[in-house]
Structure formats: structure tokens, C-alpha cells
Structure 1
Amino acid sequence: MSENNYPIGTQGTPWNDKDKQCWFNQQTIKRSYQSQVVTLINELDNDFEVVKYGALSFDPTRYPLFIIKSKEWSSNKPNILITGGVHGYETSGVHGALHFMKTLGIKYEKEFNLLVAPCISPWGYETINRWNPAAIDPNRSFYSPSPAPESAALINYIKAHNIPLLAHIDLHETTDTDNSEFRPALAARDGKVNSNWNIPDGFYLVADSNKPEPQFQKAIIDTVVKVTQIAPSDENNQLIGVPLEQHGVINYAARNLGLCMGFTDAQYVTTTEVYPDSPTATEELCITAQVAAIKGALDHLLTK
């Protein structure tokens, strides 16, 4: 553990509205959601149905929200949800979802109805942020009523269309900035002492402790290991402070924590984590690992 020297707020005291506004005022636009994400979504319009399911009230023109959906929808096929960019700064989740649809979407929609929300938090994408403009973590807000508009929009879409899901694959990253920025900010916001975690060097999965489906998780790991390394556990046989359940897999109580992977009744759920700051990683490799994770998950489901 280490003392929190974060430059906003008073140590030991949760942030008030003034502190949150101070944090927001320090955020800057670093990249473009429209040119880097929406453009790629629109390129998929010929092969899939692109649905605008909402927009962020913070700036609705700048931040529309899209789902890419199978055109050949059939009640005889199981429904699969793939999400990325719940944490906007986790780049390969966004582009992994898009690259999967570009390269493999048509193949797999023959067997599945695909729903892909590639960038749930577009403001977070542009500012390279874990939180939304109100200093709320969307990936701790997947419950109703949700305090995060990003989370609420997806929850409402799935509920309004009464879409039963077989599986939900949520694409994430664990980065060095978790320790340098985001965990210190979290401790400051909540008035707690910061405790960093050991950043795993490689790919790993977070399963839902209430429905872990270990063979499903193993199938994903077995596919991803062909393209990148699986994160080894630390000296305590843990990843990010959580005991290892099997090679490359830990469990979280997804619904209790408000995680994206926990908001539906899907039987098969997982959260992917890649490490883009590894000396062995590249942007392309991280995207390839995300695509491999989706492929491994769907190939396993085809055997069921």
C-alpha cells in the first residue's frame, strides 16, 4: 500500500462535486471517436445492420452509440453479445470488436445472431479515460437504475428488445496506467488509501464466479495462446490480487460488482484482458488477441 498523493481532493475525504469538476476540467481530447471508430462502424453497413441505440447527453452529436447487428437474424440461432470500450482507454477492446466483425463476422453469423457494441464509452475513448465525464466507472455501473449513461443505454437496449443471450464477451485491457493514474484517482475519489496491483504480463480472463463455465474459459485461453502469451500468476498464485482458478483465469462476482459481463442472464460470459504495455506487445497483436478470444469462445459454443 502507498499513500495517495493524487493532486485533486483532500486525502482521506471522498470527492465532492467541486473535486469532480476539477478532475473533469483536466481531461483533454486526445483522439477522435468519429474518425477512428464511427468511420469503421459505417464501413460495416453493407454486411450488417448498424443501429444507433442512443447518444451521450453530454454531447449527443459528438457521441452517438452504435450496435452492429446480424442482418440475417433468426430465432433459431443463439444470440451473442460482444462489447468493447466499456473503459474507453482500453483501445484493443474497441478495435478488436470491429476487426472481428470485419474479418469473421459474416462467417459466424451463419451460426449465431451477433450483437456488437464496439465502443460503449466514446468520451472515454477520446480522452483515454476509465471513467465517464462525471468520474463514474461504467464497468461498475451495469445495474438499474445505472448512474452511468453509457451503461444504462446498453442495458435499456437489450431489455427493450427482449434479447435472450447465450453468451456475452466483454473486451478489456489492463495497462500500466491502471497503477500510474486510474487506481490512484479511484482512491482519491473515494477517500481511501491507494493499493496498486501487479500488472499481469500477458492475456488473461475474468470469469463470473456465479457461472464460471471453466471449459468455456479454457477454450478461449487455448485459442489466444496461439497468438500471444497468457499472463503467468504472481508469487501468490494470483492475478491482480485475485486467486487463480485455472491457467490465465480468475473469477469476479460480476453482477454484485456491476460489471458489464454480469448484467444479462447469459450462461457463458467472460471479460478479456490484454496487456498493451508489455515489451512483447504491439497494437496489432492486442487486437489479434481480442479477435482470437471471440473466435475461441464461439468455436467452443459450436461444440455444445
Structure 2
Amino acid sequence: MSSHAPYPIGTSGRPWGESERAEWLSQQKIRRSYAADVLSVIETLRARFDVSEYGRLDYAPHNYPLFAIKSRDWRDELPIALVTGGVHGYETSGVHGALRFVGQHAADYAGRANLVVVPCVSPWAYERIHRWNAAALDPNRSFRENSPAQESVALMRLVAPIRDRVLVHIDLHETTDSDESEFRPALAARDGVAYEPGEIPDGFYLVDDSAHPQPAFQQAVIAAVAKVTHIAPADSQGEIIGSPVVAAGVIEYALNQLGLCAGITSAPYKTTTEVYPDSPRATPEQCNAAQVAAVCAAIDFALAHPAKASVGQ
């Protein structure tokens, strides 16, 4: 049985209070630039798409504008495809994959679908390469009424007017080695519970909605991504990150119950991607390309099977 050193902040068995959160916050340093990496790219897209500021994050002394990129040829009769990235700021390919999709493929859907792309939901965390926001909260467990996370509140407010009109929503994520080396131990320490080590899957996988699963849709995305990077196998228990594998590269979560971003609309087609950037078999380029392939496959399948929109809703 392996042993793990206690997390350096807090007291074992006791949830963090304000002093522990302040200590944690004091250790978070800016490691890359939201303005240089994300906002500069969004600026280049303004000539072809409608770009709107849908909110701001106020983490004094830092203030972050939040942007959505939308189809310029918006038509109310068309279905809506929602793409979100950077809900966890450290998951790099989610952000850059979303931006690459807009730059290279969004025009392909003109006259076929209205696109809403939010490439970086959590810019504070993007700059610090972290999972949480400045309040030590996980935005991807905070998409619910009376959410304490600014990032989640802003995105839900943006989506509210179209919530019941979205046909497909794909939320772009990564599973990294740092999940086990930092973020899950930090979560256990923050909540005052014992840290239970897990296994990081080597490869790409998807998270379907257990309340309204769409297996054919998920497999269409898996098939497209398999041409770009490898798909994660099940572990010895037939699971991926503790959940049963229901089909090749697919697990299921209760999206709404867990407050996950992929559950913020009534879309019949929804999924969360999980790329593994730390694999010796994958490069950053492959990770970005995998996210783009997943987005295109998701939208293509949904547009080809719109009748499903009335099933289970």
C-alpha cells in the first residue's frame, strides 16, 4: 500500500477555513497570459464572427473580461450548437481547441447552425494553470442555482435565453497527471476528507449524461477522435476514473446533479471531452486537433439526427 504525504495546507480531517483558503490563494502565481494567448486570438476572429463580452470576473486586483463568439449569420430558425472550453483553466487544449474550431471550421456551418463558442470560461485559472477559481471553488461543480462561482454564474446567464433551444453542447476538458499529483489531494484537504488515489486513463474519453444517454452520438465522436489520437481503455475494473465504461471510451455522469457545465442546457446531445495531454503517445498538437475533431463530429451528428431533439425531453 502506497503512502502519500499530507497536503501542505490545512489540518488532516478538518475542512479549510478562511485562513487556509487565503494561504492557498497566496501561493497561486500567474504563469501565462490570458490576453496574449486567448484575447489576441479572439480579436482576429472579430472580422468574421460576432464577439460579445458576456461578463467580467472581479478578482481584485485582477479583472477578466469574458467573451462569447457567435455566428454572424444568426437565424432564429436554425438549431444552436454550444461549445465551451476552459471551464477548468489548466486544461489547455479545451481553450485552444475551441479557438481553433472557430478559426478553421465554424464557417462550414454557416446557414446550417447557429454557433455559440465560449473558449475560456475561467481565465483566472487559465493564467495560473489551475482547476479552481480564486475562491478555491471548482466551477465545474458549480453550475446550479445560487452558484458561488462567478464563472458559472456568468455562463449560465449567457446561456439562459437559449437554454431550451440548444441542439448540441460539447464541453472541452482534459484529464491530466496533475489531477492526481495536485488537484485531487487539494480537494480532499479542502474538504477535510481522506485522499483516495485514483488512476489516470491514458487516452481520450467522453462523459455522457446518465439521465439522457445518447450512445450513438458519443460513438460518432469517439470514431472521429480515434483518427487523431488514441482512445482510453478501461482499467482492470472496467472503469475510467471510477465510473463504469458503458462503451468504448465513454462513461456517464449525472450532469445536472453534479453541477457540471455540460448540463446547463436542455440539449438532447451533450458531452464532455477528456483529452490526456500527458500521454507519451500524444502531443499538444494532437490534443488540440482531438478537441476540434470532437466538436465537428458532435455538431455533424446532431445536425444529421435532429429528430432526437424531441426524445426524452
Q: TM-score range by the shorter chain?
A: over 0.9
Q: Could you give the per-residue CA deviations for residues 183-235 of structure 1, whole angstroms, max 9, x where no partner exists?
A: 00000000001112211111000011001111110000010001110001101
* CA–CA separation in structure 2 for the residues paired with 1:59 and 1:73: 36
* CA–CA separation in structure 1 for the residues paired with 2:82 and 2:48: 17
- 1:17-96, aligned counterparts within 5 Å? 17-59=18-60, 62-96=63-97
- Distance change (3 Å), C-alpha of 1:153 and 1:60: farther
**Residue identity matched to 2:254:** A
* CA–CA separation in structure 1 for the residues paired with 2:109 and 2:283: 26
Unaligned runs of at least 5 residues, structure 1: none
Q: Which residue matches 1:252? A: 253
Q: TM-score, normalised by structure 2?
A: 0.94
How far residue 270 of structure 1 moved from its aligned partner, in angstroms, is: 0.2
The alignment partner of 1:42 has SS state of: helix
**Residue identity matched to 1:53:** Y
The alignment partner of 1:101 has SS state of: helix
Cα pair 1:172 1:272 within 8 Å, conserved: yes
Aligned residues: CA RMSD = 1.4
**Residue identity matched to 1:114:** L
Q: Could you give the per-residue CA deviations for residues 36-87 of structure 1, whole angstroms, max 9, x where no partner exists?
A: 0000011110110000000002158741000000010011210111000000
How many residue pairs get aligned? The number is 304
Q: Could you give the per-residue CA deviations for residues 80-102 of structure 1, whole angstroms, max 9, x where no partner exists?
A: 11000000000000000000000
- Distance change (3 Å), C-alpha of 1:60 and 1:6: closer
Q: Could you give the per-residue CA deviations for residues 97-145 of structure 1, whole angstroms, max 9, x where no partner exists?
A: 0000000010123311000000000000000000000000000000111
Q: Which residue matches 1:159? A: 160
Cα pair 1:4 1:188 within 8 Å, conserved: no
Cα pair 2:164 2:267 within 8 Å, conserved: no
Say which is worse superposed, 153-162 or 232-241, in terms of deviation: 153-162
Q: Which residue matches 2:142? A: 141
How far residue 4 of structure 1 moved from its aligned partner, in angstroms, is: 5.9
The alignment partner of 1:88 has SS state of: coil
**Residue identity matched to 2:110:** E
How far residue 159 of structure 1 moved from its aligned partner, in angstroms, is: 1.5
Q: Which residue matches 2:241? A: 240
* CA–CA separation in structure 2 for the residues paired with 1:106 and 1:61: 34
How far residue 7 of structure 1 moved from its aligned partner, in angstroms, is: 0.3
Q: Which residue matches 1:198? A: 199
* CA–CA separation in structure 1 for the residues paired with 2:164 and 2:33: 31
* CA–CA separation in structure 1 for the residues paired with 2:111 and 2:45: 16
How far residue 162 of structure 1 moved from its aligned partner, in angstroms, is: 6.0
Q: TM-score, normalised by structure 1?
A: 0.97
* CA–CA separation in structure 2 for the residues paired with 1:223 and 1:239: 20
**Residue identity matched to 2:20:** D
Unaligned runs of at least 5 residues, structure 2: 306-313
1:107 aligns with 2:103: no
Percent same amino acid among aligned pairs? 55
Cα pair 2:98 2:117 within 8 Å, conserved: yes
- Distance change (3 Å), C-alpha of 1:61 and 1:108: farther
- Distance change (3 Å), C-alpha of 1:162 and 1:265: closer
Q: Which residue matches 2:179? A: 178
- Distance change (3 Å), C-alpha of 1:162 and 1:194: closer
- Distance change (3 Å), C-alpha of 1:162 and 1:169: closer
How far residue 2 of structure 1 moved from its aligned partner, in angstroms, is: 5.3
* CA–CA separation in structure 2 for the residues paired with 1:157 and 1:302: 23
